[in-house]
Amino acid sequence: MGEGGAINQNKPTEISAPTTDSVIERAKQIKVKFGTLLQRPDHDSTKTVIIPPKTAEGYLEAPPKLDRPSREEASLWGKALDNVLINSYGLATFWSFLKSEFSEENLEFWVACEDYKRTGEQSRMAGKAEGIYKEFLKTGAQKEVNIDHLTKDATLKNLASLSPTTFDLAQRQVFALMEKDSYGRFLKSNQYQDIIK
């Protein structure tokens, strides 16, 4: 990170192997982070996103551990992706579906951006921004999201002056990709169809 928490794109970053203690600490942070209640300011303020905690088996808690929605409630998921994301069971079920397709990185990025937006302190924003960059945006990252180069370039420029909207452009593009592509397949999947029977 450079001055003011911005990522310095001119100097290569050395990455060392994480220690067991740092991995455990990171896992604890993620569990707390994704157990929090998140609100989406760009949508109806009465809708909230409840993020289930990350587990050792996966990014989000498995659906059976959450309260199963009624058939009527789950049928609302078929009207808009937002309805899936504001329901903790829906979110976890959608994540499970994406994981089965080896494409959960899009949802994980979207969730990380939601969490980032609610970070109040500039120093914490810098750490979270760097984590999002390394995990999802850095070329060759294990969970690199598929965004166009113009969006990626604009997002990388936004990292020079952090704000709650730093990742908005990339997050909107990833949301649109999920909505256009994987959301339709999710609605036809056994995971969703079994819930609305």
| Mean pLDDT value across residues 103-124 | 92
Q: What is the pLDDT of residue 25?
A: 55
Task: Decide if 66 contacts 52 (C-beta within 8 A).
Answer: yes
Over range 103-117, report the average pLDDT: 94
Q: Is the pLDDT of residue 111 over 80?
A: yes
161 CB-near residues (< 8 Å, 6+ apart): 4, 6
What is the percent of the chain with per-residue pLDDT over 90, rounded to a whole number? 61
Architecture of domain 25-196: Orthogonal Bundle (1.10)
pLDDT tens digit sequence for 127-167: 999 999 999 999 999 999 999 999 999 999 999 999 999 99
pLDDT at 57: 45
- Give CA torsion, residues 40, 45, 49, 50, to 10 deg: 130
Say if CB 74 and CB 189 are below 8 A apart: no
Residue that is written with structure tokens 């009527």 in the block: 72
Residue 148: is it exposed, middle or buried by C-beta count within 10 angstroms (0-12/13-18/19+)? exposed
Rounded Cα–Cα distance for residues 132 and 136 (Å): 6
Write down the pTM of the prediction.
0.69
User: Is residue 97 pLDDT above 80, yes or no?
Assistant: yes
Confidence category of residue 68, pLDDT binned at 50, 70, 90: confident
Structure tokens at 162: 């952090």
- Residue boundaries of the structural domains of the chain: 25-196
> Tokens 């909107």 correspond to what residue?
172
CA dist 36 and 33 (Å) reads 6
